[in-house]
Amino acid sequence: MTLIDYQQDMETCCRCSACKFIPLENVKGFEHANVCPSISRFEFHAYSGGGRLGLGVALLEKKIDYSDKLLEVVYNCQMCGACDTSCKYAMDMEVLDPINEIRITGVAGGHTLPVLDKIIASLRQTGTMVPGSRAKRGDWAEGLDVKDFTKQKSEVIYHAGCRTAYSRDMWPAARASIKLMQKAGIEAGIAPEETCCGGRAYQMGYRDDAIDQAKRNMDAIKKAGAKTLVTGCAECYHAFKVLYDKFGVRGDLEVLHTSEYFDQLIRAGRLKPEKKVDLYVTYHDPCHLGRQGEPYIRWQGKRRPGQVILFDPPKEFRRGTFGVYGPPRDVIGSIPGIRLTEMARTKEYAWCCGAGGGVRETNPAFARWTANERIGEVAETGVEAIVTGCPGCEDSFREAIKAAGNNLKVFDIVELLAESIL
């Protein structure tokens, strides 16, 4: 797909501004009606989903060209997909895909941001988006009796992801995941020198690099004979499950988030959370697990002639309806002692943590601002801890909490589950 392929979608924008708000049926008060961090922070219409679609049309019509300002507007967006979901409550049109395509077209034309180029250079050289020595990527698993799926066949593999592998704060969740699998009798394999899923590269507009990573990873996975990939990173989950399907390389690989996988094991009686974890928590839906975590829908066709927007064959839109919302809550609910209180913005209309889309790298202050907004929402629930299922979100929240001098704790779901079982 190219930008011009989305011209009709972009031109279907009626400028209603639904993309700026949570789905209107769910507005429960004055507060927390906004859903898009970008327009909420930068205010000009250009920073909204609809504004960016207008810019996409302006690019195609050659009214504007790539410029520093355009890149600034385009990259001050977490690609969280909230605009897409809110729009599709009412409309049959793509929103997030053309916005991403504006980035992709820019990268293809050499219109990039130096900070992102540097990260992509690291990806190309070392296979990771996070600065660090590739040789140490597997250190998180030191001392665990876990097999290397690049050397031994493994039906189930665990993908840690860049953010987990290179951040010691995330290691407990990854190590707990392996231990819980072992407790359930699952012999999962890891790749001590695993490489990046490529998901964030795609969000940043570097599609070719993302496809390269996808092919590389799938080659290794196929060689291992793996049937199931489990990951605790929402971005990796989205990449393996949705993007790899979109790229046509996923094949039959089953992709599960740790919350889904452990929920299944709990339901099957193979894991039993028994120890009490006395904690008041709220759950933050990561964008790439929630609204963007629903399966990719392969469709190839064309718009039917006539006045109404209909397609041949009929096109089913991804609207965020089938994201992963239940399993994380079910896992939390299975842990004795934990009391879950929902935030004002949840599930398909959850506010982003601020880390996505390369914003943490290009505009850390905006990422922090976005995280602070969420932390404020957490505070209103009166809980002690925020639980989530993505190292990017966890990292973003920890940083914001530390800066604010707040006492709020941040946990990965798996950490709490492990506390109740191991």
Partner 1 sequence: MALIGAQYTAFEDIVGADFISADPVILYAYSWRSGLYAGTDKFTPLFEAAVLPQNTEEVQAIVRLCNKLGLQFKATSTNWGLYNDATGPGVIKIDLRRMNRIIEINEKSLYAVVEPYVIGAQLQAECMKRGLICNQNGAGANCSALPIAAHGGYGHLSQSASYGERNMLALEWVAPDGELIRFGSLGSSGAWFCGDGPGPSLRGIVRGNVTPLGGLGVYTRAATKLYHWSGPPTFPVEGISPDYAPGEIPPRFLIRFFSFPSLDELDKAQRKMGESEIACELMGFNAAMAASNIATSNEEMVRLFQEFSGMVQGPSCMVIIVGDSPADFDYKTRVLAQIALETGGKSLDKITDDPKVAGGCLWRWLRSTASIREVFRATGCFGGEVGGTDTYRLMADYITETGKCKDDLIRRGLVYDDGSSPFTQSIEHGHTGHGELLIRYRPGAATWDGLMEFMGKANNIAINGHFGVPGHVFSDMQHDIYGPHVSSYHLWLRKIKKVFDPNNASEGSHYITVKE
Nearest to 321 by CA among 300, 298, 349: 349
Alpha helices in 44-88 (DSSP H): 49-60, 68-75, 82-88
232 binds partner 1 (CB under 8 A): no
Binding window for partner 1 (CB under 8 A); candidates: 22-30, 97-105, 372-380, 388-396: 22-30
How wide is the angle at C-alpha 78 spanned by C-alphas 258 and 131, nearest 5°? 70
Burial class, 311, CB count within 10 angstroms (exposed 0-12 / middle 13-18 / buried 19+) = middle
86 binds partner 1 (CB under 8 A): yes
**DSSP character for 350?**
P
205 binds partner 1 (CB under 8 A): no
323 binds partner 1 (CB under 8 A): yes
Decide whether 35 or 266 has the Cβ nearer to partner 1: 35
Decide whether 205 or 232 has the Cβ nearer to partner 1: 205
Give CB contacts under 8 A, 24+ apart, made by 62-66: 66/106, 66/109, 66/111
189 binds partner 1 (CB under 8 A): no
Decide whether 42 or 411 has the Cβ nearer to partner 1: 42
Q: Are 118 and 217 in contact (CB under 8 A)?
A: no
14 binds partner 1 (CB under 8 A): yes
- Terminal CA-CA length for the chain: 47
Q: Whole-angstrom Cα distance, residue 4 to residue 112?
A: 20
Here the tokens at position 74 are: 């385009």
171 binds partner 1 (CB under 8 A): no
Q: Whole-angstrom Cα distance, residue 327 to residue 372?
A: 26
11 binds partner 1 (CB under 8 A): yes
Decide whether 113 or 160 has the Cβ nearer to partner 1: 113
**DSSP character for 151?**
T
**CB of residue 56 vs partner 1: minimum separation in angstroms?**
9
Residues 300-319 interacting with partner 1 (rule: CB under 8 A): 306-310, 314, 316-317, 319
**CB of residue 413 vs partner 1: minimum separation in angstroms?**
20
**CB of residue 24 vs partner 1: minimum separation in angstroms?**
4
Decide whether 314 or 382 has the Cβ nearer to partner 1: 314
62 to 81: interface string for partner 1, x by CB under 8 A: -xx--x-xx--x--------
**CB of residue 71 vs partner 1: minimum separation in angstroms?**
9
Decide whether 133 or 321 has the Cβ nearer to partner 1: 321
Residues 29-48 interacting with partner 1 (rule: CB under 8 A): 29-30, 33, 43-46, 48
Contacts of 198 (CB under 8 A, 6+ apart): 123, 209, 210, 211, 212, 213, 214, 217, 239, 243
Q: Whole-angstrom Cα distance, residue 207 to residue 248?
A: 14
Decide whether 164 or 362 has the Cβ nearer to partner 1: 362
Which three-class secondary structure state does DSSP give residue 153? coil
Decide whether 42 or 202 has the Cβ nearer to partner 1: 42
**DSSP character for 401?**
H
Residues 343-362 interacting with partner 1 (rule: CB under 8 A): 347-349
How crowded is residue 66: how many other Cβ atoms within 10 Å of its Cβ? Answer: 16
Provide the β-strand partners of residue 219. Answer: none
Here the tokens at position 416 are: 């709490």
Decide whether 189 or 323 has the Cβ nearer to partner 1: 323
Residues in touch with partner 1 (CB under 8 A):
11-18, 21, 23-30, 33, 43-46, 48, 50-55, 57-58, 61, 63-64, 67, 69-70, 73, 85-86, 88-93, 306-310, 314, 316-317, 319-323, 325, 347-349
